[in-house]
Amino acid sequence: SQTIHQWPATLVQPVGSPLSLECTVEGTSNPNLYWYRQAAGRGLQLLFYSVGIGQISSEVPQNLSASRPQDRQFILSSKKLLLSDSGFYLCAWSVIWGQPQHFGDGTRLSIL
Amino acid sequence: QKEVEQNSGPLSVPEGAIASLNCTYSDRGSQSFFWYRQYSGKSPELIMFIYSNGDKEDGRFTAQLNKASQYVSLLIRDSQPSDSATYLCAAYFGNEKLTFGTGTRLTIIP
Protein backbone atom coordinates (compact mmCIF):
# COMPACT_ATOMS: atom_id res chain seq x y z
CA SER A 1 0.00 0.00 0.00
CA GLN A 2 1.03 3.57 -0.52
CA THR A 3 2.24 5.77 2.31
CA ILE A 4 3.35 9.36 2.51
CA HIS A 5 5.87 10.67 5.00
CA GLN A 6 6.31 14.28 5.89
CA TRP A 7 8.68 15.81 8.41
CA PRO A 8 9.21 17.48 10.73
CA ALA A 9 5.80 17.57 12.41
CA THR A 10 6.47 20.88 14.13
CA LEU A 11 8.99 23.59 13.42
CA VAL A 12 9.71 26.94 15.03
CA GLN A 13 11.96 29.23 13.02
CA PRO A 14 13.13 32.83 13.35
CA VAL A 15 12.31 35.39 10.69
CA GLY A 16 14.96 35.40 7.97
CA SER A 17 16.07 31.83 8.54
CA PRO A 18 16.03 29.18 5.78
CA LEU A 19 13.51 26.38 5.49
CA SER A 20 13.52 22.87 4.15
CA LEU A 21 10.53 20.55 4.44
CA GLU A 22 10.65 17.09 2.96
CA CYS A 23 8.00 14.71 1.75
CA THR A 24 8.41 11.18 0.43
CA VAL A 25 5.92 8.71 -0.96
CA GLU A 26 6.27 4.94 -0.87
CA GLY A 27 4.48 2.21 -2.77
CA THR A 28 3.83 4.01 -6.04
CA SER A 29 5.77 5.29 -9.03
CA ASN A 30 5.65 8.67 -10.75
CA PRO A 31 2.99 10.17 -8.49
CA ASN A 32 1.69 13.70 -8.83
CA LEU A 33 2.97 15.60 -5.80
CA TYR A 34 1.59 18.72 -4.15
CA TRP A 35 2.46 21.26 -1.48
CA TYR A 36 -0.35 23.12 0.25
CA ARG A 37 -0.44 25.69 3.01
CA GLN A 38 -3.32 26.18 5.41
CA ALA A 39 -3.37 29.31 7.53
CA ALA A 40 -5.17 29.10 10.88
CA GLY A 41 -8.91 28.75 10.30
CA ARG A 42 -8.53 29.03 6.55
CA GLY A 43 -8.80 26.81 3.48
CA LEU A 44 -6.07 24.97 1.63
CA GLN A 45 -3.85 27.03 -0.63
CA LEU A 46 -2.00 25.14 -3.35
CA LEU A 47 1.62 26.28 -3.46
CA PHE A 48 3.33 23.91 -5.90
CA TYR A 49 2.64 20.75 -7.80
CA SER A 50 4.79 18.36 -9.78
CA VAL A 51 3.91 15.71 -12.35
CA GLY A 52 7.44 14.34 -12.67
CA ILE A 53 11.09 14.65 -11.67
CA GLY A 54 12.31 18.21 -12.10
CA GLN A 55 8.88 19.45 -13.17
CA ILE A 56 7.51 22.09 -10.80
CA SER A 57 4.49 24.33 -11.28
CA SER A 58 4.12 27.32 -8.98
CA GLU A 59 0.71 28.64 -8.06
CA VAL A 60 1.41 31.60 -5.83
CA PRO A 61 4.27 34.12 -6.11
CA GLN A 62 6.15 34.04 -2.83
CA ASN A 63 9.55 33.46 -1.28
CA LEU A 64 9.09 29.69 -1.32
CA SER A 65 10.40 27.21 -3.85
CA ALA A 66 9.97 23.52 -4.47
CA SER A 67 12.09 20.80 -5.96
CA ARG A 68 11.61 17.18 -6.93
CA PRO A 69 15.06 15.60 -7.06
CA GLN A 70 13.74 12.04 -7.11
CA ASP A 71 10.55 10.40 -8.33
CA ARG A 72 8.95 10.14 -4.89
CA GLN A 73 10.60 13.04 -3.08
CA PHE A 74 9.25 16.57 -2.90
CA ILE A 75 11.00 19.37 -1.04
CA LEU A 76 9.72 22.79 -0.04
CA SER A 77 12.34 25.44 0.63
CA SER A 78 12.87 29.06 1.48
CA LYS A 79 16.03 31.12 1.73
CA LYS A 80 14.54 33.66 4.15
CA LEU A 81 11.32 33.07 6.03
CA LEU A 82 8.77 35.80 6.60
CA LEU A 83 6.24 36.07 9.42
CA SER A 84 3.52 35.45 6.84
CA ASP A 85 5.01 32.02 6.09
CA SER A 86 3.55 30.63 9.30
CA GLY A 87 0.97 27.93 8.78
CA PHE A 88 0.25 24.27 8.38
CA TYR A 89 2.14 22.81 5.42
CA LEU A 90 0.74 19.73 3.79
CA CYS A 91 2.21 17.43 1.20
CA ALA A 92 -0.11 15.30 -0.89
CA TRP A 93 0.10 12.78 -3.71
CA SER A 94 -2.19 11.35 -6.34
CA VAL A 95 -1.80 8.61 -8.91
CA ILE A 96 -2.88 10.80 -11.79
CA TRP A 97 -5.05 13.80 -12.58
CA GLY A 98 -8.66 13.31 -11.54
CA GLN A 99 -7.86 10.80 -8.83
CA PRO A 100 -8.02 11.47 -5.08
CA GLN A 101 -5.18 13.22 -3.36
CA HIS A 102 -3.83 11.75 -0.14
CA PHE A 103 -2.20 13.92 2.48
CA GLY A 104 0.73 13.54 4.79
CA ASP A 105 0.45 14.42 8.45
CA GLY A 106 1.63 17.97 7.84
CA THR A 107 4.21 20.32 9.33
CA ARG A 108 3.12 23.11 11.63
CA LEU A 109 5.49 26.01 11.03
CA SER A 110 5.69 28.95 13.41
CA ILE A 111 7.82 31.96 12.57
CA LEU A 112 9.05 34.10 15.45
CA GLN B 1 -11.85 31.94 -11.42
CA LYS B 2 -12.92 28.36 -10.89
CA GLU B 3 -14.29 27.93 -7.40
CA VAL B 4 -15.77 25.52 -4.93
CA GLU B 5 -18.09 27.08 -2.38
CA GLN B 6 -19.25 25.79 0.96
CA ASN B 7 -21.17 27.23 3.87
CA SER B 8 -18.57 27.69 6.61
CA GLY B 9 -21.04 26.80 9.35
CA PRO B 10 -20.86 25.87 12.08
CA LEU B 11 -23.49 23.23 11.46
CA SER B 12 -24.84 21.62 14.60
CA VAL B 13 -26.63 18.28 14.39
CA PRO B 14 -27.98 16.09 17.22
CA GLU B 15 -26.36 12.73 17.69
CA GLY B 16 -28.12 10.06 15.67
CA ALA B 17 -29.57 12.52 13.13
CA ILE B 18 -28.58 13.01 9.49
CA ALA B 19 -25.97 15.67 8.77
CA SER B 20 -26.24 17.26 5.34
CA LEU B 21 -23.28 19.15 3.89
CA ASN B 22 -23.51 21.01 0.60
CA CYS B 23 -21.06 22.31 -1.94
CA THR B 24 -21.42 24.14 -5.25
CA TYR B 25 -18.83 24.50 -8.00
CA SER B 26 -18.38 26.94 -10.81
CA ASP B 27 -17.12 24.81 -13.73
CA ARG B 28 -19.73 22.71 -15.50
CA GLY B 29 -16.90 20.64 -17.00
CA SER B 30 -15.70 19.30 -13.64
CA GLN B 31 -15.60 15.50 -13.56
CA SER B 32 -14.21 14.48 -10.17
CA PHE B 33 -15.47 15.45 -6.73
CA PHE B 34 -14.15 14.66 -3.29
CA TRP B 35 -15.08 15.01 0.34
CA TYR B 36 -12.38 15.24 2.98
CA ARG B 37 -12.71 15.27 6.74
CA GLN B 38 -10.28 17.33 8.77
CA TYR B 39 -10.09 17.11 12.53
CA SER B 40 -8.69 20.12 14.33
CA GLY B 41 -4.91 20.21 14.02
CA LYS B 42 -4.81 17.22 11.68
CA SER B 43 -4.41 16.76 7.95
CA PRO B 44 -7.40 16.17 5.62
CA GLU B 45 -8.56 12.59 5.23
CA LEU B 46 -10.40 11.40 2.13
CA ILE B 47 -13.81 9.97 2.97
CA MET B 48 -15.70 9.93 -0.34
CA PHE B 49 -15.24 10.56 -4.02
CA ILE B 50 -17.83 10.64 -6.79
CA TYR B 51 -17.55 10.93 -10.54
CA SER B 52 -21.06 10.22 -11.85
CA ASN B 53 -24.43 11.82 -11.34
CA GLY B 54 -26.49 10.28 -8.58
CA ASP B 55 -25.70 8.81 -5.22
CA LYS B 56 -22.74 6.86 -3.93
CA GLU B 57 -22.96 5.17 -0.55
CA ASP B 58 -20.18 3.98 1.74
CA GLY B 59 -21.28 2.93 5.19
CA ARG B 60 -22.93 5.88 6.93
CA PHE B 61 -21.77 8.28 4.22
CA THR B 62 -23.60 9.11 0.98
CA ALA B 63 -22.23 11.47 -1.64
CA GLN B 64 -24.69 13.00 -4.09
CA LEU B 65 -23.74 14.66 -7.35
CA ASN B 66 -25.95 16.78 -9.58
CA LYS B 67 -23.91 18.05 -12.52
CA ALA B 68 -26.79 19.96 -14.10
CA SER B 69 -27.18 22.05 -10.94
CA GLN B 70 -23.45 21.98 -10.17
CA TYR B 71 -23.70 20.82 -6.63
CA VAL B 72 -22.37 17.95 -4.61
CA SER B 73 -23.51 16.99 -1.14
CA LEU B 74 -22.48 14.67 1.65
CA LEU B 75 -24.96 12.99 3.96
CA ILE B 76 -23.85 11.44 7.21
CA ARG B 77 -26.43 9.10 8.72
CA ASP B 78 -26.61 8.23 12.41
CA SER B 79 -24.23 11.09 13.24
CA GLN B 80 -21.73 10.39 15.99
CA PRO B 81 -19.69 12.80 18.13
CA SER B 82 -16.60 11.48 16.32
CA ASP B 83 -18.03 12.98 13.11
CA SER B 84 -17.43 16.46 14.53
CA ALA B 85 -14.84 17.96 12.18
CA THR B 86 -14.44 20.32 9.25
CA TYR B 87 -15.54 18.82 5.94
CA LEU B 88 -13.80 19.97 2.79
CA CYS B 89 -15.32 19.68 -0.65
CA ALA B 90 -12.94 19.56 -3.63
CA ALA B 91 -13.09 19.30 -7.41
CA TYR B 92 -10.72 19.02 -10.33
CA PHE B 93 -11.20 21.72 -12.94
CA GLY B 94 -9.59 20.10 -15.96
CA ASN B 95 -5.97 20.08 -14.86
CA GLU B 96 -3.75 18.51 -12.25
CA LYS B 97 -4.91 20.90 -9.54
CA LEU B 98 -7.57 20.05 -6.98
CA THR B 99 -9.57 23.10 -5.88
CA PHE B 100 -10.84 23.03 -2.32
CA GLY B 101 -13.69 24.83 -0.66
CA THR B 102 -13.03 26.57 2.62
CA GLY B 103 -14.83 23.82 4.55
CA THR B 104 -17.91 23.41 6.71
CA ARG B 105 -17.44 22.93 10.43
CA LEU B 106 -19.77 20.22 11.72
CA THR B 107 -20.56 19.71 15.40
CA ILE B 108 -22.50 16.66 16.56
CA ILE B 109 -24.33 17.38 19.79
CA PRO B 110 -24.60 14.39 22.19
pLDDT attached to residue A59: 85
pLDDT, averaged across chain A:
93
CA separation for the pair A9, A24 (Å, rounded):
14
110 residues of chain B, pLDDT tens digit each = 778 999 888 999 999 999 999 999 988 788 899 999 999 999 999 999 999 899 999 999 999 999 999 999 999 999 999 999 999 999 988 777 889 999 999 999 99
Tell me, yes or no, if A56 comes closer than 8 A to chain B by beta carbon. Answer: no
- B32, A51: Cβ pair inside 8 Å? no
- Give A-chain residues touching B98 at CB under 8 angstroms: 34, 46, 94, 101
Residue A67's pLDDT is 96
Q: What is the chain A residue with the closest CA to B88?
A: A43
Dist. CA B97–CA B35, nearest whole Å? 15
Q: pLDDT tens for residues A10-46?
A: 999 999 999 999 999 999 999 999 999 998 777 899 9
What does each C-alpha distance from B70 to A28, B6, B30, B63 come to in angstroms? 33, 12, 9, 14
The pLDDT value recorded for residue A61 is 66
Q: How far is residue A89's CA from residue A75's CA, in Å, rounded to a whole number?
A: 11
Residue A88 has pLDDT above 80, yes or no: yes
Q: Give me the residue from B43, B46, B97 closest to A46, CB to CB.
A: B97
Which is nearest to B33 in space by CA: B61, B60, B6, B64?
B64
Angle at B98 between CA B93 and CA B101, to 5 degrees: 95
Compute the average pLDDT of residues A92-103. 90
Whole-number pLDDT of residue B7: 87
Rounded to a whole number of angstroms, the distance between the first and last alpha carbons of chain B is 40
Give the single-character DSSP code of B32. -
pLDDT of residue A2: 87
For an interface test with A, give the residue of B45, B48, B98 to mutate (most A CBs within 10 A). Answer: B98
